[in-house]
Amino acid sequence: MGMTIKDIAKKCGVGVSTVSRALNNHPDINPETKKMILKTVEESNFVPNNSARNLKRTDSKSIAILVKEIDNPFFATMMRVMEKKIRRQKYSFFIQHMGKDQDEVDTALELIKEKKLRGIIFLGGDFRKNKERIAKIKVPFVVSTAAFDKLPEKCIASYVSIDDRAESRKIVDYLCETGHKKIAILASDKKDENIGKLRLEGYREALKAHGLEADEERICYLDEEDTTYSMENGYRMMKKLLKKETEFTAVFAISDLMVIGACKALLEEGKREGETAYQKLDVTDFSKKTFGMFAGEKKRLQLVFDNSLIGVAIDRFGKEIPVLKESETQFRTFVEISVSKQFYGWVAGVGKGASIVEPKEEQEKYRKYLENIWKL
C-alpha cells in the first residue's frame, strides 16, 4: 500500500491540513514548510488522489471569509462570532487575508473555482467599481464594513453595514451647528478605498453644505505604513496636527480608539474641558469590553509580532508590555492574558505577523485552533 496524506503529515511533523495546503499551492503556508513537504512528497513518490480531492471539493460545505486590511481590530471580534455561527450549521470555513493592492472580486472568483465554495463573507473592500465582474460571483455572498453603492441585481447577495458617509455628515453637522467652523479630522490613509474613505467624503460634504471649505491642513492622514485605527495612531496624529499650528476648534476622529489617543495628546498640551472625564476612563477596561477577548484561564504568554504591529500590541495589552528585539523585522513581548478561543481568534485576525511562542502547550492549542479553521 502506498503512502497516504496522513503518512506525509506524520513524516513532516505537521497536520494533514498543512500538507493539503502545500499540495494545493495555498498562499497561507510558510514557504519553508511548503518546501519541506513537497520535498518529502517527491522523495516518497506520493501521488495525491485527485479524484477523491475533487469529489471532496464538490461536496464541500465551506465558506470563505475574505478580510481586507486585517489590521482593523473590530474584524477579530466579527470573525469569532462568524466562526461560532458557521460551525453550528455544520459548515467549515477559512480566512483569506487581502492586502490593499489585492482585488477582492478577483480573489473571490479564484477561490470559488479552486475551493468549490458554498458562500463568501467579505469584511472590508470597495464594491463601487467593476460591477460587471461582481455579477460573476455565482455563490451567495455577504458584504460587511465595506464601501459600496448598490450590488448588482443578478447577485445572490446581501450586506450588513451602516451609511458611513451619512453618519460622518451627521457628526460634522452637529459640530457646525454648535458654532464650529474650523473642524479638523483624523482620517484614514490617502490610499484607503474602504470605510475610511467614505467617512472622509462625509466630512467634506458636510463642510460644503455649511458653506465651508475643507482645509487640507486640517486633514491629518494615517501613515500608510501603519493603518490601524488605534489609540497610538490617534495620539500620534493629534501630536502631528498640533505641531502644524493650524487653528482648529473641533476634531472629528474616524474611530473610537483614535479618539482616546487624540484626547490624551490634547490634554498633554494643557488644561482643557473634559479632562476630569478622561482621567476616569479605564482604557484597558474599555478595550476588554470592546473586543471581548479577555475571558478564560489567565496565563503568561510570550508572543512574537512583526515590527509593523507594535501599535496593535500596545493597544491590546497596554504601554507597559516589554518590547524585546527578536530579529530585524520582529519583536517579542510577554503578557498576562486570559487565554480563550476569543484570544486565539484575535491572534488569527491579526494575521501572519503575530504568533504564540511560549508556553508550548498554548502554542499547540493555537495550532490546532488554526487547523480547525482551515479544515475543508
Q: CA-based diameter of the chain, in Å? A: 81
Q: In whole angstroms, what is the distance from residue 123 CA to residue 131 CA?
A: 18
CB atoms within 10 A of CB 45: 8
**164-281 CATH fold:** Rossmann fold (3.40.50)
52 — phi, psi (to 5°)?
-65, -40
Q: Identify residue 258 by its one-letter amino acid code.
A: M
Alpha carbon distance 367, 230 (integer Å): 27
Position of cell 513537497?
38
Rounded CA gap, 41 and 59, in Å? Answer: 26
Distances, alpha carbon 44 to alpha carbons 3, 15, 55, 276, in Å: 7, 17, 24, 69
What is the domain partition of the chain in residue ranges? 5-54, 60-160, 164-281, 289-362
Q: Amino acid letter at 271?
A: K
- Measured CA to CA, the distance from residue 149 to residue 54 in angstroms comes to 37
Q: Which architecture does CATH list for 289-362? A: 2-Layer Sandwich (3.30)
CATH classification (class only), 60-160: alpha beta
Does 289-362 match 5-54 at the fold level?
A: no
In the sheet with 250-253, reading across from the earlier edge strand, the strands are: 219-221, 183-187, 250-253
The predicted pLDDT at position 218 comes to: 94
pLDDT of the residue at 159: 79
DSSP state for residue 37 in the 8-state scheme: H
How is the chain split among helix, strand and coil, in percent rounded to 5? 45, 20, 35
Q: Could you report the average pLDDT of every consecutive run of 10 residues in the chain (376 residues)?
A: 75 82 73 85 67 48 79 67 83 78 83 85 76 82 77 77 88 95 92 82 96 93 78 88 89 87 83 60 51 58 85 71 84 80 72 84 82 57
Host H or E run for residue 175: helix 164-177
253-277: b (≥16 Cβ within 10 Å) or e: bbbebbbbbbbbbbeeeeeeeeeee
pLDDT tens for each residue of 200-246: 999 999 999 999 999 999 999 988 777 777 778 889 999 999 998 88
Q: How many residues does the chain have?
A: 376
- State the architecture of 5-54 in CATH terms: Orthogonal Bundle (1.10)
Cα–Cα–Cα angle for 257, 82, 162, rounded to 5 degrees: 50
Q: What is the pTM of this model?
A: 0.52
**Integer Cα distance of 11 and 222 in angstroms:** 47
Distance CA 321, CA 306 (A): 15
